[in-house]
């Protein structure tokens, strides 16, 4: 069985992240305990085929590289999103800079998740928990827009009117690229709680700007 799992792992792209469930789907007739033992063996040695990225998550390494690293940079960048699960998006200073409302670059990714924040210090991310389950219907960029409005007064370096104009201009130029489903975004926005009178109007304004860019 060890050889079968090794061959399976060798076929993964370098930097690919996976967990025990992924391996179980590839080998449904094997027990989870046996799969864990095989993965543990594959992580051993000076230049192993895979490495443990964090609890329950593994990554395909580049074997025989001149400069050895635990995992490629791309895998480490993807790790916060792997553990965040559905309904996650950027938040805090990271999302404000991503949209272009601040020049301050966060040294760590900030990720908003649905439910309790995961414990994954290996990712280097700041996880923030949210209770709104309507976010599960949203894509990452749509969640990030909600978070940008939530975080605007704390992190933005410009007034709202200027920020909205910049968002509209960037959207029209295709800088963001991702489609926004306004109906789902606003449904989730209406389920947010305790955010003051500006929150919903600002979400509606962002959704309208995204819709306007989509029809051009």
- pLDDT at site 69: 87
Give the full edge-to-edge strand order of the sheet including 17-19: 17-19, 57-60, 50-54
Mean pLDDT of 71-88: 93
pLDDT in tens, 55-67: 889 999 999 888 8
Taking 70 as the threshold, does the pLDDT of residue 214 lie above it? no
CB 144 within 8 A of CB 178: no
What burial letters (b/e) apply to 128-152, b meaning 16+ CB within 10 Å? bebebebbebbbbbbbbbbbbbbbb
Q: Taking the model in full, what pTM does it have? A: 0.88
Mean pLDDT of 209-215: 78
pLDDT in tens, 2-30: 788 999 999 999 999 999 999 999 999 99
CB 20 within 8 A of CB 39: yes
Taking 90 as the threshold, does the pLDDT of residue 111 lie above it? yes
What single-letter DSSP state applies at residue 12? S
């Amino acid at each position: 069985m060890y050889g079968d799992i090794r061959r399976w792992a060798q076929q993964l792209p370098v930097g690919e992240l996976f967990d025990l469930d992924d391996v179980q789907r590839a080998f449904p007739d094997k027990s989870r305990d046996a799969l864990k033992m095989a993965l543990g063996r594959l992580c051993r040695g000076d230049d192993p085929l895979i490495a443990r990225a964090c609890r329950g998550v593994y990554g395909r390494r580049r074997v025989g590289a001149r400069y050895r690293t635990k995992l490629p940079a791309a895998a480490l960048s993807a790790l916060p999103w792997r553990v965040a699960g559905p309904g996650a998006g950027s938040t805090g200073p990271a999302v404000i800079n991503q949209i272009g409302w601040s020049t301050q670059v966060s040294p760590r990714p900030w990720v908003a998740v649905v439910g309790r924040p995961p414990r994954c210090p290996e990712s280097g991310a700041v996880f923030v928990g949210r209770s709104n389950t309507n976010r599960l219907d949203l894509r990452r960029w749509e969640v990030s827009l909600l978070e940008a409005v939530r975080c605007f007064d704390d992190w933005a370096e410009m007034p709202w009117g200027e920020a909205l104009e910049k968002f509209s201009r960037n959207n029209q130029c295709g800088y963001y690229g991702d489609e926004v489903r306004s109906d789902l975004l606003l449904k989730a926005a209406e389920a947010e709680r305790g955010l003051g009178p500006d929150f919903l109007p600002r979400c509606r304004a962002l959704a309208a700007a995204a819709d306007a860019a989509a029809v051009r």
